Structure 1
């Protein structure tokens, strides 16, 4: 019985990883305009922890996303032209016939950062031990700001633009995130039985 349980997990992980790769390709296509940029989110929480983060040409505003069940989820949107993340961890929980499991991706842990271009975060909460912001402009109309092509805020909403943000021990709780390009050195992707989130 013990060995059978292991075999089921291996098969499940292989199927899940294939599905995750396909979903990632769809997200990338949406950002690049091949699919509509309006999308329906699951509503589940994604957790990201980064030891040190550098983000360039950052645009921020607030809006809502729609979940599959029709719920409107208020989110803080943070988009940027380029991000460098040292000590990166991303996780989310999902249900299986064998109980809860954790999808977990780590990288950028050996001195070389994870680099992303055209990243958009749809956040419920972001906390940092320390944040250094350069050239901040707050109170701009969100519809006039665009660091990622096709991603801007609703007219009349408050927007913010920052040239550079450096954050330490960043913990982000998101409902979705997209990137045009993502390079993750020394990456490790795991599907782990049980609850093993990044924070």
Structure 2
């Protein structure tokens, strides 16, 4: 593949990059069902949506893993960054409230013209991501256990040893949209943080 060449590599849609990991997460799901792998990361079981105008990440890694919820085990693609700067971050979740209806909780930070959102050891567990993406010095198909350019797999994640991963020295994503199950970070600085709660569905996208 031409995209394996060292140097800057660009995919118009980040979803193209995620295709191999979909297969990897499917394999992990089979291993879980056969009892070969246990899922230990417990999440709420509610997905949330995130958008950003731009994310500049240093030390990128991506691999397949499993999140565990009360409703069952969820295969995800984990995207990790050693450090990241995010412009115009929006995060929303719709919570169904009995006898009241849907309530949307929306958070925004790092708006245009102000300080960016900053994160260290940032991991995003998602099952749907799209963006315009540019990678520098990318390696595709490296073993998840042997990644060196990013933060490595998160300690709490369950993944198949030796399974597919990719890494890059830097990654830039523009016009990001993602549906996620969990986000973790060593530090997460939210400049210009605003939060709103509204009745009905008022998601980021």
For the criterion TM > 0.5, the same-fold answer is: yes
The aligned residue for residue 70 of structure 2 is 68
Within the alignment, does 1:178 sit opposite 2:184 as a pair? yes
Tell me if 1:162 matches 2:165: no
Return the match for 2:125 from 122, 127, 148.
Answer: 122
CA, structure 1 residues 116+155, in 2 after alignment: closer, same or farther (shift >3 Å)? same
1:191 partnered with 2:193: no
Taking only aligned residues, the RMSD between alpha carbons, in angstroms, comes to 1.8
Match of 2:108 in 1: 106
- Secondary structure, in 3 states, of the residue corresponding to 1:40? coil
SS at match of 1:41: coil
Q: Secondary structure at the match of 1:143?
A: helix
CA 1:79–1:144 in structure 2 vs 1: closer, same or farther (change >3 Å)? same
Change (3 A) 1:149 1:139: closer
Aligned length in residues = 161
Give 1:149 deviation, angstroms: 6.5
Deviating 4+ runs (over 3 angstroms): 146-150
What is the alpha-carbon distance in structure 2 between the residues aligned to residue 149 and residue 141 of structure 1?
11
